[in-house]
């Protein structure tokens, strides 16, 4: 395990040098401007800024950056880093970086955006007629029932877990690497279900229940990572086929990717679960003190 971690650190430090020292790497190490990814990120960012400006004008004050703004900015910046920056290109050539890209989307960008609760500001960024029409549609009974069911703690955990496991089936994962449409669908599935999951555990669930579902997610994703890291043979043929060009064997590339899902990503979920557990214990103590 320690040897794999050392290889990963060395690889990340050496990547820029490889890019400058090898023409094949240098020609490809670049930002990825896929309009299907860039346009939604830009539009959502502009809507949020527009909504913040509109509300600030109505309040006749700009004020300091709010904590919601900080979380939204962090979420969008890390999302752009994962899907647009050279990390995305590296992820197309090394399973290790592809896994880093996915974990940023799942465990950093999605919870940051959820903590910002940006829906209201995004609506305020729209033209008045569109905002009212969309607001009415969002309040429709069918839409509200569907949202409530999908953001229930158990439902969201299952939906998110199914998306993670299905897309890590070797056949589908390799298809996502070789087909642009599949790759976009994979990213959308990961991000959308992650939003549902984090919304459920942060805003919809009692803290103790949220901690349980975070622990459950940590366990099943760690099992998946361990299966990849400990597999005796290469499972992801297309994803690891260029590993030799980066100083790794395909099996080592797969092992490193599995380790990233197993340990660093698991640590994030465990940390979130412990935070929820601490908040639950503190809330219980405060309620007991009030009733005493």
Max Cα separation, the chain?
A: 72
Query: What per-residue confidence (pLDDT) applies to 212?
Result: 96
Query: What per-residue confidence (pLDDT) applies to 5?
Result: 44
On whether the CB atoms of residues 98 and 57 are closer than 8 A, the answer is no
196's CB contacts (< 8 A; 6+ apart) are 150, 151, 156, 159, 160
Q: Output DSSP code: residue 66.
A: P
**Nearest 5 degrees, angle CA 229-CA 234-CA 235?**
85
Other Cβ atoms less than 10 A from the Cβ of 263: the count is 16
Q: Which residues of the chain have pLDDT under 50?
A: 1-26
Name the token pair of 94: 């090394």
Report the candidate in 128, 185, 114 with the shortest Cα–Cα distance to residue 156: 114
Query: What per-residue confidence (pLDDT) applies to 63?
Result: 59
Query: What per-residue confidence (pLDDT) applies to 284?
Result: 80
Q: With 0-12 CB in 10 A as exposed, 13-18 as middle and 19+ as buried, what is 171?
A: exposed
Query: What per-residue confidence (pLDDT) applies to 287?
Result: 75
Report the candidate in 98, 71, 95 with the shortest Cα–Cα distance to residue 86: 98
User: Could you give the CA distance from residue 85 to residue 243 in angstroms, rounded to a whole number?
Assistant: 20
Name the token pair of 132: 């009212």
User: Could you give the CA distance from residue 255 to residue 258 in angstroms, rounded to a whole number?
Assistant: 5
Measured N-to-C along each axis, helices 250-262 and 2-21 cross at an angle, to the nearest 10 degrees, of 120
Query: What per-residue confidence (pLDDT) applies to 11?
Result: 46
User: Could you give the CA distance from residue 253 to residue 177 in angstroms, rounded to a whole number?
Assistant: 15
On whether the CB atoms of residues 165 and 224 are closer than 8 A, the answer is yes
Rounded to two decimals, the pTM is 0.87
User: Could you give the CA distance from residue 231 to residue 57 in angstroms, rounded to a whole number?
Assistant: 58
């Amino acid at each position: 395990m320690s040897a794999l971690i050392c290889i990963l650190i060395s690889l990340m430090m050496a990547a820029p040098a490889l890019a400058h020292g090898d023409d094949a790497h240098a020609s490809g190490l670049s930002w990825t401007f896929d309009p299907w990814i860039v346009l939604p990120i830009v539009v959502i960012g502009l809507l949020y800024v527009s909504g913040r400006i509109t509300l600030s004008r109505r309040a006749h004050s700009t004020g300091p950056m709010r904590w919601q703004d900080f979380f939204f900015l962090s979420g969008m910046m890390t999302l752009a880093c994962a899907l647009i920056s050279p990390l995305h290109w590296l992820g197309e050539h090394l399973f290790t970086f592809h896994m880093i890209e996915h974990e940023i989307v799942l465990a950093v960008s999605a919870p940051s955006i959820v903590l910002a609760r940006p829906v209201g500001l995004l609506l305020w960024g729209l033209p008045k007629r569109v905002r009212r029409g969309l607001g009415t549609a969002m309040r429709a009974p069918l839409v509200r029932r569907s949202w409530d069911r999908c953001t229930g703690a158990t439902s969201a955990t299952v939906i998110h877990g199914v998306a993670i496991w299905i897309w890590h089936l070797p056949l589908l994962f390799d298809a996502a690497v070789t087909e642009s449409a599949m790759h976009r669908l994979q990213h959308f599935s990961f991000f959308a279900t992650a939003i549902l999951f984090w919304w459920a555990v942060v805003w919809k669930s009692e803290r103790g229940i949220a901690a349980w579902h975070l622990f459950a997610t940590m366990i099943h994703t760690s099992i998946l990572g361990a299966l990849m890291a400990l597999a005796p043979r290469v499972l992801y043929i297309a994803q690891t086929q260029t590993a030799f060009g980066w100083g790794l064997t395909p099996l080592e590339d797969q092992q490193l990717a599995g380790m990233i899902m197993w340990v660093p990503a698991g640590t994030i979920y465990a940390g979130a679960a412990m935070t929820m557990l601490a908040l639950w214990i503190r809330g219980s103590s405060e309620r007991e003190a009030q009733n005493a």
